[in-house]
Amino acid sequence: MAAATRWSPSTTVAAIIERDGRYLLVEEHTPEGLKLNNPAGHLDPGESPQQGVVREALEETARVFTPTALVGVYLSRFQRPAAHEGRGEDVTYLRFAYCGTVGEELPGLALDAGIVRTLWLTVDELRESRARHRSALVLQCILDHLAGQRYPLDLVTTDISVIRPEIKG
């Protein structure tokens, strides 16, 4: 009997950034067209979720992000149908969403590949643009932030072995 393939979700991080009643989003190219998303991306090897969200926010907004709290941990699934006799895509995402503050845009720092621009939207504008959201989590994380959902940063612990793997011999 063949060994079963272990299921493992893709871990992502997202920055929920509010200033004067507006939320910072990115407009990005996706296989489904131009979409709106929170500054977000995949966790890289050797980094904590908090380090990852700082890096992703900088890459996608050219702004330094300082996390102040964890808004939530989310599990979602994305299915893309097969195109041109290829295989479809079925991915489950585990998202750590952090809120915090950003500084001004750093001059001369290019946005990550695929990011067209950043924009600040009100919650009403976000609700009206729901069809353009990369996923349902874009609005959900913002609504949770708006509702005051906050958890301490130390709720998520990253063992040192993530950064310096222990070698057993």
What mean pLDDT is predicted for residues 79-97? 78
- Asked if residue 2 has pLDDT above 60, the reply is no
CB 36 within 8 A of CB 138: yes
Most confident of 87-91, 110-114, 161-165: 110-114
pLDDT of residue 138: 97
Q: Is 125 helix (H, G, I), strand (E, B) or coil?
A: helix
Q: Is a pLDDT exceeding 60 seen at residue 143? A: yes
Q: Count Cβ atoms within 10 A of the Cβ of residue 37 and give its class: 0-12 exposed, 13-18 middle, 19 or more buried.
A: buried
Give the confidence band of 164 by pLDDT, cuts at 50, 70, 90: confident
Contact 28, 34 (CB under 8 A): yes
- The matching CATH number, chosen from 3.90.79.10, 3.90.550.10, 3.30.1510.10, 3.30.70.2740, for 10-80+88-153 is 3.90.79.10
In this prediction, residue 19 carries a pLDDT of 97
pLDDT at 80 over 90: no
Tokens of 74: 């989310």
Q: Is the pTM of this model over 0.95?
A: no
* 3 or 147: which leads in pLDDT: 147
pLDDT tens per residue, range 90-99 = 888 999 999 9
Q: What is residue 165's predicted lDDT score, i.e. its pLDDT?
A: 78
Q: Please enumerate in sequence order all residues whose Cβ is within 8 A of that of 65, keeping only pairs 6 or more positions apart, or say none.
A: 15, 17, 39, 53, 54, 57, 58, 100, 101, 102
Task: Give the start-to-end residue ranges of the domains of the chain.
Answer: 10-80+88-153
The continuous run of DSSP H or E covering 90 comes out as strand 89-102
Decide if pLDDT at 8 tops 70: yes
pLDDT at 163: 85
Q: Categorise residue 158: left if φ over 0, alpha if ψ from -120 to 50, beta otherwise.
A: beta
Q: Where are the alpha helices (DSSP H) in the chain?
A: 49-61, 123-128, 137-146
pLDDT tens-place string over residues 28-73: 999 889 999 999 999 999 999 999 999 999 999 999 999 999 999 9
pLDDT of residue 84: 61
Please measure the distance between the N-terminal and C-terminal CA atoms of the chain and give it in whole angstroms.
30
Cβ-in-10-Å burial (0-12, 13-18, 19+) of 2 comes to exposed
Q: Are 154 and 31 in contact (CB under 8 A)?
A: no
